[in-house]
Chains A and B, each alone.
Chain A
């Protein structure tokens, strides 16, 4: 064991926001410590990595329920008569077409088509939206939206400090939440959100998540976070709810084939390069930032496809890590973007960008260079795991 290895974790290549070295703490910080969490620096926030075994936390979300603190995510409110028009110009999705009470997965790109961040946008009312950015990109997104708002009758507000975010994920999560709220959860569809009260705490209740399971994300005032966490913990006692850290959130999203900014998504890739061209809505009215470059990227992806994002499943037990080379016949044919032991499959899995010639599921002879040794991997279609509905 190397001493320095103990502090080393591979949660990501995300740049940290904090340049002073001082970490930010969520409203639940003392609670995490009282639960014995192992904490980690994540995008400048001191966040729970895990409370006990990350494998047990992962499996609890797949079979029962898990409770997450996601207060590091960046909330930005956009309001005003032209809020929809601003977001249609600033983002690649059709935001004006989102009905109040619904949410949309989308991206914000540069003029050259490079991805600045992937986002979830909730339409809270006719003229009010909440944009949720990744913690590592929240400032970048805030700055871009503010700049792009020039000339629009709309206000862009930094609400990062206005919210704590708790997520309850897993098959038992609807039952747990129902015991604490009168809100119509049965009427709340996937990718929808409504204001309500949970355990007496005012919350925006959203049926979203990043785990591949049914679940809810609860946006509340920071001063209510501890009270809500404790109420959810108590409500979940009988059905196996456990607190979960960011480590299992990463393996859950990886199994579900969901991209992570800084890994599958970067400024050097367009949505088409990432296999997510469907989020770009050329048919929407008016211009939007990146339209021209993305048109070209779409055409390029069709005629001369770049590398393709695929799934890899190990035959052995060695774990591929982000940045490791994918090889075939002694040649480098791609690069791993995320890799981890999959608790559900019982084998290491990875997402990787590979040359199209090796991208078809079942392609043989593909391996990953794991610190000098070429370990065999099977090319599969993503996701690795899909929940039975």
Chain B
């Protein structure tokens, strides 16, 4: 699997797009989606919520497990992906596209986000 070069990645397996007008899009990686198996339920933060880098802001439920969703950055939620709430399988079928999870107006980000190459090495190890 290939991790898009233009994104950055957390060690918690989220991806973060470059900010446009200060707003970045967040999803989970294909590696994470594959490891989870079929995602059947997604609980996302609400628009207006403040999230903190590295802290829980939702959950992802698959056939066999339930996992906390963390935010890779701090900021305010500006939009959540209702399509993925209605059809959680999008996380598996298009993790880097239609399966995005939320948009956040970034106020602060940790210094340890990874490049695509770094994340590829990290997730293989």
Contacts and interface: CB of A to CB of B under 8 A. Distances in A.
Given A1-B14, A1-B28, A6-B32, A321 B38 contact: no
Interface stretch (B17-25, B65-73, B75-83): B65-73
Contact of A2 (B40, B63, B70, B92): B70
Contact of A6 (B35, B61, B70): B35
Interface in A145-186: none
B5 interface: no
Interface string B33-71: 011111011000000000000000001110111111110
Nearest to B38: A55
A247 B11 CA distance: 27
A108 interface: no
A54 interface: yes
Nearest to B35: A6
Contacts of A319: 40-41, 61, 66
A49 B36 CA distance: 11
A8 B62 CA distance: 11
Contacts, number: 71
Nearest to A321: B66
Contact of A1 (B40, B41, B60, B63): B60
A387 interface: no
A54 B36 CA distance: 11
B39 to A, nearest CB: 10
Interface string A6-20: 111111000000000
A6 B62 CA distance: 11
Interface string A318-341: 110100000000000000000011
Contacts of B92: 53
Interface string A43-61: 0000001100111000000
A9 B70 CA distance: 19
A375 to B, nearest CB: 11
A1 B12 CA distance: 5
Contacts of A317: 40-41
A10 B34 CA distance: 16
B64 A9 contact: yes
Contacts of B12: 1-3
Contacts of B64: 9-11, 49, 54, 247, 340
Interface in A331-384: 340-341, 348, 371
A270 interface: no
B6 to A, nearest CB: 20
Nearest to A348: B40
A32 to B, nearest CB: 16
B13 A6 contact: yes
A222 B28 CA distance: 40
A319 B62 CA distance: 9
A251 interface: yes
Contacts of A11: 64
7 contacts: A3-B12, A11-B64, A38-B35, A38-B37, A53-B92, A54-B63, A371-B59
Which 6 A-B residue pairs are closest in the complex by CB-CB distance?
A5-B67, A1-B13, A6-B35, A341-B40, A9-B64, A317-B41
Interface of B: 11-14, 28, 32, 34-38, 40-41, 59-61, 63-70, 92
Given A54-B64, A247-B63, A317-B40, 13 more contacts: A1-B12, A3-B12, A5-B36, A5-B68, A6-B67, A53-B38, A54-B37, A54-B38, A54-B63, A55-B38, A319-B61, A321-B66, A371-B59
